[in-house]
Amino acid sequence: MKKQLGATTRRGLLAAAGGLTAGLMMPAIIRSASAATTLTVADPGGPYSPGFRKAFYDPFEKATGIKINNVARESEPTAQFKAMVETKSYIWDVCTLTLSARDLLAKQALLEPIGFDAKDAPGLMPEAITPLWMGTDVYSTIFAYNTKKFGANAPAGWADFWNVEKFPGRRALRKNPIDTLEQALLADGEALDKLYPLDVDRAYRSLERIKPHVAVWWTGGAQSTQLIQSGEADLVAMWNARAQSAVDGGASVKIVWNQGLYSIEGWGIPKGCPRADAARQFVKFCADGARQALFTENLSYGPTNLKAYDRISAKVAASLPTAPDNLKLMTIAREDWWSANRDAMNERFSAWILS
């Protein structure tokens, strides 16, 4: 699952965060400033880089004297991560990882412990921390619709997306079983909290009903934005920030958070990293809610520390997955189920889409 920005602009948060350097975490950070002079941090690039620079990199440099050199990682960094650990050629000290990447690397013992737990990070979502990883941002799969097309007769869930009689219009779904199978089950009446393990046969019976009415099976996030923004499709299953970028661009688009699926991305440290102590302190630094609030100026992703919403306006919060009013409508995607079933599901979906 990947996505794109929905830019917003708010001032004053950086100045507010500047006063946090006297917080509880800071003494340990400052005392160990000599542990390293530079950390290389791999993020997804694009809007992440300025967003994380503002929220994390520059404040950490100011607090510790440790320089952060950020580089853009590959979209799927696990192979590069593994090679780096095995050859002990550490081109990164910290890297963003999705839940599936985290689980894969953890199973292969390729991650360094982060050195703190939930009690050290008040406000952090329980799903956003393990002994080997800490989540920083949340993205979600939702659907968006053209408000001019539907007006007051607005679709409110996946059953409505599937209901072509009550909600006529061009539809677009992702050409991938991930999320699409869950959406098909939700459209068929499965409860959000009972999705997993997926009833795959039931999902395909549901997909058979919608398949003749899908105008586009999209393959890239930018394509999904273009479909809803241009009006080529009236209802599009997509990532929330891709939909938000259409909204920010002035399109008549509304996001439906109900029955959305969210996932988390966060920091991992490669096993054996010679700068692991400084890397751990950087990761802990990023757990703070006030700092996470800053990246929402650049990214339409939800902070994992829910205390961030004390510093985010209600208008901006409405566009973020972890805002309480949105989060309560969604469930987390089960990456453990997909890790065990991904190859079989990809094979079946590829055959089905061609049938």
24 compared with 64, residue with greater pLDDT:
64
Note the CATH architecture for domain 140-262+338-354.
Answer: 3-Layer(aba) Sandwich (3.40)
Note the CATH architecture for domain 13-138+263-327.
Answer: 3-Layer(aba) Sandwich (3.40)
Q: Which of 301, 354, 256 is nearest to 1 (CA)?
A: 301
Q: Mind listing the pLDDT tens digit for each residue in 126-175?
A: 999 999 999 999 999 999 999 999 988 899 999 999 999 999 999 999 99
Torsion angles phi and psi, residue 138, rounded to 5: -120, 135
Sign of the Cα torsion 126, 127, 132, 138 reads negative
Size of the chain in residues = 355
| CB environment 73-82: b (16+ within 10 A), e (fewer) | beeebbeebb
CATH 3.40.190.10 residue window(s) in the chain: 13-138+263-327, 140-262+338-354
Sign of the Cα torsion 66, 50, 329, 218 reads negative
Cα→Cα distances 160→259, 277, 315, Å: 12, 51, 26
| Mean pLDDT over each residue of the chain, to the nearest integer | 90
Torsion angles phi and psi, residue 157, rounded to 5: -170, 180
Q: Mind listing the pLDDT tens digit for each residue in 229-266?
A: 999 999 999 999 999 999 999 999 999 999 999 999 99
Q: Which of 184, 136, 212, 169 is nearest to 345 (CA)?
A: 184
Q: Which of 340, 330, 348 is nearest to 140 (CA)?
A: 330
Give pTM, 2 decimals.
Answer: 0.85
Query: Residue 76's pLDDT band (boundaries 50, 70, 90)?
Result: confident
